[in-house]
């Protein structure tokens, strides 16, 4: 079955790197996404990676995928107070035509000055 | 930049009442979705909709729920007789293409409607 797990909370200081981790259970080919949710706002797509890739970098964001361990991480370099939000890992599955997204619990990132 | 919009931002209703949550997807998108997030829990898929019909629905999406695209721009979620446990944030999302080669097309989410059932 599909299950996506994340740690609930991460606290870092401004300027440090943040690493948010996610594990998933379904081994079928999949896209994996990171969404950001600020207070009172919707889900903003940050980046995504396909399961045949190991890494993707987009400015301050680096996504690492360990397919063997079904582990995904999001690294935010030079974290800013504006990065404080909830970060959701999500997967979409080939066997659903990549239609529905299965979300993790979300990791609340708190960046202190 | 085009975005998904949802109205109202907050809806308060009495148990047993019908509610309609409204969404305006991005204009050239073809796939539409509803998700919900009960406070403190995961975002859960409810239903996907394409070509004027439901393409997939979850176990949550029982006979109390229905979706409709009444015109060329709106996409609605109706809950016929609300229960206390329907209290949640409801997110609408849309996607440009239908998958296959375009599977990298992602779902864009609206800001959500917070439904409170008393």
Series of mean pLDDT values for 10-residue runs along chain B (118 residues): 90 97 93 92 92 91 94 93 96 78 70 95
- pLDDT value of position B105: 65
Q: Which residues pair with A65 in a beta bridge?
A: A72
Binning pLDDT at 50, 70 and 90, where does residue A51 land?
confident
Stretch A84-90: mean pLDDT, rounded? 95
DSSP string, B28-48: T--EEEEEEE-TTS-EEEEEE
Identify from A5, A22, A63, A97 which residue to disrupt to test chain B contact, counting B C-beta atoms within 10 A and taking the largest count: A97
State yes or no: pLDDT of A94 exceeds 80.
no
- Give A58 to chain B, closest Cα distance, Å: 16
CB-nearest to A42 from B33, B48, B112 is B112
Q: Contacts of residue B43 in chain A, CB cutoff 8 Å?
A: 43, 88, 90, 101, 103, 106
| Cβ pair A101:B112 closer than 8 A | no
Sequence-distant (≥ 6) Cβ neighbours of residue B71 within 8 angstroms: none
Nearest residue to A14 (alpha-carbon basis) of A88, A87, A106, A76: A76
Q: Contacts of residue B108 in chain A, CB cutoff 8 Å?
A: 45
State yes or no: pLDDT of A104 exceeds 70.
yes
- B43 near B91, Cβ under 8 Å? yes
Q: Contacts of residue B98 in chain A, CB cutoff 8 Å?
A: 97
Bond into B8 cis (ω within 30)? yes
Mean pLDDT of chain A: 89
Q: Contacts of residue B44 in chain A, CB cutoff 8 Å?
A: 103
């Amino acid at each position: 079955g599909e299950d996506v797990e994340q740690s609930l909370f991460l606290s870092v200081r401004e300027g440090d790197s943040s690493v948010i981790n996610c594990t998933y259970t379904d081994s079928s080919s999949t896209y994996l996404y990171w969404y950001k949710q600020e207070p009172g706002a919707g889900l903003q797509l940050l980046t995504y990676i396909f399961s045949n890739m190991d890494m993707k970098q987009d400015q301050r964001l680096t996504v690492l995928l360990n397919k063997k361990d079904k582990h995904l991480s999001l690294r935010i370099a030079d974290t800013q107070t504006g990065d404080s939000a909830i970060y959701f890992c999500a997967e979409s599955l080939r066997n659903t035509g990549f239609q529905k997204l299965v979300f993790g619990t979300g990791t609340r990132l708190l960046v202190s000055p | 930049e085009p975005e998904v919009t949802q109205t109202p931002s907050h809806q308060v209703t009495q148990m047993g009442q019908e509610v309609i949550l409204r969404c305006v997807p991005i204009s050239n998108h073809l796939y539409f979705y509803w998700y919900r997030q009960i406070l403190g829990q995961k975002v859960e898929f409810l239903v996907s909709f394409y070509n004027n019909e439901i393409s997939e629905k979850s176990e949550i999406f029982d006979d109390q729920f229905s979706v409709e695209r009444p015109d060329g721009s709106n996409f609605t979620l109706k809950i016929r007789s609300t229960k206390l446990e329907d209290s949640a944030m409801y997110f609408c999302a849309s996607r440009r293409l239908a998958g296959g080669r375009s599977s990298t097309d992602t779902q864009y989410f609206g800001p959500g409607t917070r439904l409170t059932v008393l």
